[in-house]
Amino acid sequence: MKYGYFDDDNKEYVITEPKTPYPWINYLGNKDFFSLTSNTGGGYSFYKDAKFRRLTRYRYNNVPIDDGGKYFYIKDEDTIWSPGWKPVKTKLDKYECRHGLSYTKFIGEKNGVNAEVLQFIPLDFLGEIQHVKLKNTSSKEKNIKLFSFIEWALWNAEDDMTNFQRNLNTGEVEVEDSVIYHKTEFKERRNHYAFFSVNQNINGFDTDRESFIGLYNGFESPQAVENGKASNSEAHGWSPIASHYIEVSLKPNEEKDFVFMLGYVEVDAKDKWESKSVINKKPAKEMIAKYNTKEKVENALNDLALYWDNLLGKINISSNEPKLDRMVNIWNQYQCMVTFNMSRSASFFESGIGRGMGFRDSNQDLIGFVHQIPERARERIIDIASTQFEDGSCYHQYQPLTKKGNATLGGDFNDDPLWLILSTTEYIKETGDFSILNEKVPFNNDVSKAKSLFEHLKVSFYHVVNNLGPHNLPLIGRADWNDCLNLNCFSQDPNESFQTTGNKKGKTAESLMIAGLFVVYGKEFVKLCRELHLDDEAIFAAKHINNMSEAVKNYGWDGDWFLRAYDYYGNKVGSNENEEGKIFIESQGWCSMAEIGLENGMVKKSLDSVKKYLDCDYGIVLNSPAYSKYYEEYGEISTYPIGYKENGGVFCHNNPWIMIAETILGRGDQAFEYYSKIAPSFLEEISELHKVEPYVYCQMIAGKEAHKPGEAKNSWLTGTASWNFYAITQYILGIKPDYNGLSINPCIPSEWKEFNVKRVFRGTVYNIHVKNPYKVCKGIKEIRVNGEKIESTIIPILDSNKEHKVEVIMG
């Protein structure tokens, strides 16, 4: 069942039924100020950090779901309704939610009144616009009452939801003209405030939640709206809100519009006050004036559209498969931007409180984003590397507001350092900017310990070399990429964190996933060294890579697939010898991508085993058979019910590793089959089962052994976005940046006749037309650039002042 449709021309997903299987959300903003908004108006806003600078309040895991947001109430005689259906839930004569690129538009209609609410954050602006249009579509005059509503969060989202003995006493506001200012804690340690304005005179306001909603009412029936007037309440403690009350008269066919703005302001500590206890409102008034008319708002929206057209225009494909084109051209790239901004911090599955920016997460997210805004990718690499320690280990996460390591989660995740090699080499290949390697980057944010970024890559590489176990395979630490395989935890205490507790400090638990990862990015480190003419460094590093490959062949092969690990006791994990969890996806992906044993058939056997034991209708499951009991020596993975999350679920993040591995064997049919099984636009018809948005990837789909196979969770913020974009564009479509040019080496379904790719690479436009007359999956017969045949499959860097035509014949 479908709950809407793709509008590819407008780059929108249009939702026509408000009761989606789960709230389907969108993200507004793209740099410092962000909002999450659901298809019925739920969500919240924050500046930079969803934990420490949250402007509006939101309650997770609520009943009913997704209550709390930025709402508008319309009272038309005795009928009360909301343009986004919620929170009032009055049946509408028309409902439509259009999620676009950094904007959302609601269109609701009831009893001859049409209401349109456009939400977006202008470029480089610390505020959200809510442009409301009301039109009388009836034949008689309408006198309606419009109420806005937001609920202020008291800045620290965690403290806001726990420290009630303090917080119910601290709320403070000011009201001036049509602007409501939120200044809780401003007089002491904060130099920031928020405001909610409208560009019209108002007939009243409320800033006290109890006065507006009523102590025993809900969002669906505020007493002020039911009474048809505001009480002009001023919050002193309790729960501050912001609500404008406007009386609107509309003649038949008349339309009126209102520009509401939710804004964030920081002022200099010496310039906080206009007068005693009166905040400095000058910056807020300047912000309001910038978008106080319909024309200014429309211009800002046009600028936003042009911004996205430019970003998405850097990679654009045309095939015979619309579902593929819309993913690559629009939604996958859009999601890559969002995951780059958010890491795993703030979605409808991540509260924005417990997790910051992940070290491994952000490095991986960058590979789907670097082509869009390389300078921001460069800044992010420096930020990430600055949280590394001198021995190559690192904090697992850091807070975006401070850019300091998050000590709560600590470190000792032994795969973390290697991902820095991935992000840095991908950045240099995309940009040609080798100068980043000379940047002085602190260790643990201590500038006195700063060394070049290249030295950070070097210690990342040797962190693995210096932490090997009894089989000369990498020690796993707290965990590797699979945070739930905790081989040193041994927890019997339900209050312990599996990922941060190490009850046994062994040097025996080893990871085959890290082994494969080390070979893949070790080779990249060697290749980079050769580009820098550091030949001795390259030769020395290559020896360690060869040693690792041999260790995998000797101790990591189980006969038909690669082992997953050795546990604390030195026993095999992911082996046919095990009762459960006989085979895992991660080591099959990374050891195959590393081409370990390619020459003697190990890679083919491994991937054939993936197809035989792990593949299902909804993707490739993480392990099989799933664990049916708790294994103390394995940790969190065995605590999940069978078929969910890491225990036999389709963990979508790692499916692209198998897609990439299949292209190494030249099996394009299989690679694309795996791609289409988890790509959201291919799943739109089963939305009632899939549940989450049909336009963005999710983290997990319930696997073949689950109670409800095919049901998904944890959408939006997942490395699945970047890895699928990386797999489809660079390995299946085969357009891959390299240090000295653009590599062309597709691996596609044999039935594909042709496809086109426009690729902007280092300022040069390449219009690539790939033909497949011989129905092969892989192989290049001929490449012509501007009509001239070239012998290499790497197109050299060409003149950026014109477009270049590339013709590729497969065969």
Catalytic positions are 483
Q: Is 250 strand, coil or helix?
A: strand
Pairwise CA distance, residues 174 & 182, whole Å: 7
Token couple for 339: 């995951």
Closest-CA residue to 690 (of 191, 2, 84): 2
**How far is 663 from 734, CA to CA, in rounded Å?**
9
Is residue 538 within 8 A of residue 478, CB to CB? The reply is no
Per the CB < 8 A criterion, the answer to whether 153 and 161 are in contact is no
> Got the DSSP string for 633-700?
TT-GGGGSPTTBTTBTSEEGGGHHHHHHHHHHTT-HHHHHHHHHHH-GGGGGGGHHHH-S-TTS-EEE
Give the list of residues 6+ apart from residue 276 with CB closer than 8 angstroms, or none: none
Q: Is 706 helix (H, G, I), strand (E, B) or coil?
A: coil
How distant is the alpha carbon of residue 354 from its chain centre? 16
Specify the 3-state DSSP secondary structure of 217: coil
Q: Closest Cα partner for 152 from 124, 193, 203, 110?
A: 193
Q: For 407-476, where are the E strands, in sequence order?
A: 440-443, 446-452
Q: Which of 104, 67, 102, 83 is nearest to 146 (CA)?
A: 83
CA distances from 330 to 259, 271, 447, 457, 675 (A): 28, 44, 40, 33, 17
CB neighbour class for 689 (10 Å; exposed up to 12, middle 13-18, buried from 19): middle
Cα–Cα dist 807/801, whole Å: 20
Phi, psi of 54 (to 5 degrees): -90, 125
User: What's the number of CA atoms in the CB half-sphere (13 Å) around residue 798?
Assistant: 19
Q: At what angle do helices 416-431 and 512-531 cross, to 10 degrees?
A: 40
Contact 735, 328 (CB under 8 A): no
187 token code pair: 């007089």
In the chain, the amino acid numbered 9 is D
Nearest to 328 by CA among 339, 315, 338: 315
Cα-Cα-Cα-Cα torsion 436, 742, 678, 752, nearest 10 degrees, comes to: 180
